[in-house]
Structure 1
Amino acid sequence: MQRHGDTLRDGASRAVLLDSFGGPEVLTLKDVPEPQAGAGQIRVRVSAAGLNPMDWFMTADPETAARFGLSLPCGFGTDYSGVVDQVGADASGYALGDRVFGTALSRAVADHIVLDANGNIASGIAHRTPDGVDDRTAATLAIAGSTASAALDVLGLGPGDTVLIGGAGGGVGVFAVQLARIAGARIIGTGSPSSAQYLRSLGAEPVAYGEGLAGRVRDLGAGTVTAALDLHGTDTVHVARELEVPDDRICTIAGQVHGIPAASGANAAPGALESIARLVEAGRLRVPIAAAYPVEDIRAAVELQAARHVRGKVVIDL
């Protein structure tokens, strides 16, 4: 993959910044001082950044931003992939040239990011990128992959399960459907009628969302639906209850319903992302890249992603 920033002059760097909270119109690519790795830190030359709904949700207004500890001026994006190009004193476990991917909360869309070598979700995390995983794909794994993994851990799927996944064609759905399939479950995935073939390609039996969903699921001859995952809001939760799925085998990621467990990427089991990356490398899990934009077109990329009709992931090239 061509890296658009390979011609950066010494000491130069770029980052997408916000001087006010709001929609894509507030995103601006700016020249910034090149950050330097301090003691216990590494610096990553970013190759690609994957977009997630949380990126624009966090920065939409001051109240939401404050909940995530963000203040102005603020960066943008969380998923990244790249190469370690600086290693600070006492930063063990990394070497120059290591390919890595991970999270840098609301600052990933930048030529360079600095992370603690032993970081967390707030300071940034780096995982090794397997040789068989390209940079664009690696940049999509962290948030969506860890969220899907955490949700499926709640459900505990296995052979004999039939799971209803609401919003199966979205960014998290790409991972959830395939991980459920690998676990041996039968998957019924909701989406628009035009997404049916795409859902089949992931391993799901497609069904149109909206009023009458429970009846359409029954019409599939699915038998007993034993688990459900709502990746969009709460509509699938209510349908699952109508289908008599027990509350403890229903999970949400974007909505809250009393008595229904919720999951987030922060709750993923240790090693979950490494396992997902190995599945990608082995060809057992694929990540469709719906679109890739140069960083100069960040606003258009976010507009596409925020429309929530993308099949697969949107990636920014740096």
Structure 2
Amino acid sequence: MDTLRLAIVGYGKIARDQHHPAIANDPRHRLTAVASRNASVPEVANFESLEALLEQGPEIDAVSLCTPAGVRTQQARLAMAHGKHVMLEKPPGATLAEIETLREDAERHGVTLFASWHSRHAHGVAGAKRWLAERQVRRVDIEWKEDVRVWHPGQAWIWQPGGMGVFDPGINALSIATAILPRPFHLVDAQLQVPGNCQTPIAASLDFVDGENVPIHAEFDFRQQGTPPIWEIHVETDAGRMTLEAGGRRLLIDGKLQQEGPDAEYAGLYARFAELIAEGRSDVDVSPFRHVADSLMLGYRHTVEDFIE
């Protein structure tokens, strides 16, 4: 397969820290251009907008959209109309409905659309899915807690409509849960803590059940201070307790380490993107995003103290 010529659109922290290194280390991809208002990258073509890149830039095969979700749909539609394959950072859009438009566009233009969920590519996730497939799940507990000032410094957009607040990291947990659990599940209760000066929650307590009434509880919190983040999923089964730690990098069974690997989630994303393009397919799974939408629709909002950066 020929090397895919890629452009990154929106060169912020996630693009700099994760996307660019993953592309650089994968011989199937080559970073050819960047479109960003606030950053430029040496040794590639740089543009202030996707429009300028498509009109004036070098030939590219695909774009990786790392811009805020609110502008991503317009950019994805433009790229696909120009015959480019598109990878969407999570979440894949600002609303569920617009993603259906993108799905139709990809089919009409004959290009690949990839709604990416990086946490699904954490080292222990595939093993967890295989292990659970042969067990009876009895209960699931998810704990996803981090300090917003450390992980999202100065990012005011996260508190605005569409920014998702604590669901920005929480959706990573939901992306793993929807991948590893053997049955679909749905929300039955959501308690959201929303700072008085924000539009999105700083913490959330969620209860789900699956088709066999297995309880699934999740606690998301942006106020974890002074200790490392907690990114864990615990599953009680008829054959013991399975745990994913460190966002899925470590897999344990009854407290005994089974698998542990490096942080290579974005390498997995780009390998998957290349595979989809080679096969002429798209992957647009919105199940984690649907759970967030349900939580924001069904959740009871508790006003808490203002958030001050």
Please report the TM-score for the alignment, with normalisation by the length of structure 2. Answer: 0.33
Please report the TM-score for the alignment, with normalisation by the length of structure 1. Answer: 0.32
Which structure is higher in helix share? Answer: 2
